[in-house]
Structure 1
Amino acid sequence: MTRRILFVCLGNICRSPMAEGVLRQKAPHLLVDSAGTSDWHAGDPPYVPMQHAALRKGYNITEQVSRPFHPADFMRFDMILVMDGRNQADVEAMRPPGNLTPVKRFAPFAGRDIGDVPDPYYTGEFDAVVELIEAAADGFLATLPQPQ
C-alpha cells in the first residue's frame, strides 16, 4: 500500500515543496516529503514567491527546507512523483540495482493532457502551478485506497 510519498523537482524550492504541502493538508494520513535533483538550494526554504502563492490558497510551506534526492530515498518511499521528464531521468539514473519503487510524473494525475508541471521559478506562473498541483493531488489521491 502506498503510504510514503516523495515529490521531486530540480531545486526543491518551488514545485516539490508545494506538492508536499498540498498533499500533507489533503491526506494527513500519508507520510510526505520532497527533494530536489540538485543540491543548489540545500537547506533553503521554498522560494518566496512560491510561499506567497501557497499562502493565497491556504497552504503554509514556509517551514520546509530543501534537500537533495538521494538513492536511499528509493528504499524510504513507496512512490516517487516527479515534476518533469528531466527530473524523472535524473531520479532513474540514481536507482539502485533491483529496486522497484515506482517513479511517475505527477502532472498526468490532474487529468489534463500535460506531462510536466511547469517550473514557476522560470515561468513566473506560481498561482497556475499551485492549481495544477492541487488538481494532480486530487487525482493521485483518487487512485489510492481510502484509509480505514
Structure 2
Amino acid sequence: MKSVLVVCIGNICRSPMGEALLAAALPQIAVSSAGTGALIGHPADDIAKALMSARGLDIEAHRARQITQLMCQQADLILTMDEGQRRHIESRYPLTRGKVFRIAESIKQDVPDPYRQGQDAFEHALQLIDAGAQAWAERIQKFK
C-alpha cells in the first residue's frame, strides 16, 4: 500500500482531519484528501484547524480540491465519511470498486458532517474519524 485518499463532501472539515491523522500514523504512505462537492481552494474550517493544532497537527496549508478519476486511479485505498459517499464514488468511478470503504467501518458508523454546526459537532466527528483512522492504520501496518 502506497497511497490513501480520504474523501468527504466539501474537503474542508472531515477529510482534512482524517488526512492529517492518517498521515501522522502512516508516515511511509502518501495520504491526501478530496471532496465529492469540494469548496475548491478553500482552507480547512477554523474549528478543524484548531482541533488538529491541539493534537500537534498542522492543516493550515490545506486547500480543498475536487475528487478526480486520476486521484481514484492512483489511490490504493479510498476512505469516505459515509455509505452514500462510498456508493457515489463507486458509481461515478467504477474502477474504484473494492477499494472504497468508510473511514469508521471498524465501528460500523458514518461520520456526520459538522459543517456550520459548532465545536461539539466537530469534536464528535473527530472522535469517529480518529477511531477509524487508528483502526485503518493498524490494519495497513500489518501489510507492510
Cross-structure match for 2:104: 107
Cross-structure match for 2:124: 128
> What is the percent sequence identity of the aligned residues?
32
What is the Cα deviation at residue 70 of structure 1? 0.8
Counterparts of 2:96 and 2:36, CA distance in 1: 18
Counterparts of 2:4 and 2:114, CA distance in 1: 22
Higher-helix-fraction structure: 2
Cross-structure match for 2:70: 72
Counterparts of 1:99 and 1:13, CA distance in 2: 23
Segments ≥4 residues shifted beyond 4 Å: 98-101
Q: Which secondary structure state, in structure 1, belongs to the residue aligned with residue 69 of structure 2? A: coil
| Aligned-CA RMSD value | 1.9
Aligned mate of 1:54, from 37, 45, 52: 52
Counterparts of 1:145 and 1:45, CA distance in 2: 30
Give ranges in structure 2 of 5+ residues lacking alignment: none
TM-score if structure 1 supplies the norm length?
0.86
Per-residue displacement from partner, 1:78-115 (whole Å, max 9, x unpaired)?
0100001221122112214x555510011123xx3x42
Counterparts of 1:24 and 1:145, CA distance in 2: 13
Counterparts of 1:108 and 1:28, CA distance in 2: 22
- Which shifted more, 125-134 or 79-88? 125-134
TM-score if structure 2 supplies the norm length?
0.88
Which runs of structure 2 are paired with 1:129-144 in the superposition (5 Å)? Answer: 129-144=125-140
Counterparts of 1:85 and 1:100, CA distance in 2: 13
Counterparts of 1:78 and 1:10, CA distance in 2: 20
Counterparts of 1:64 and 1:93, CA distance in 2: 27
Counterparts of 1:5 and 1:92, CA distance in 2: 16
Instruction: Give the conservation status (yes or no) of the 8 Å contact 1:77–1:101.
Output: no
Counterparts of 2:5 and 2:137, CA distance in 1: 14
Cross-structure match for 2:8: 9
Q: Which secondary structure state, in structure 2, belongs to the residue aligned with residue 81 of structure 1? A: strand
Counterparts of 1:132 and 1:100, CA distance in 2: 24
What is the Cα deviation at residue 25 of structure 1? 1.1
Aligned residues: 142
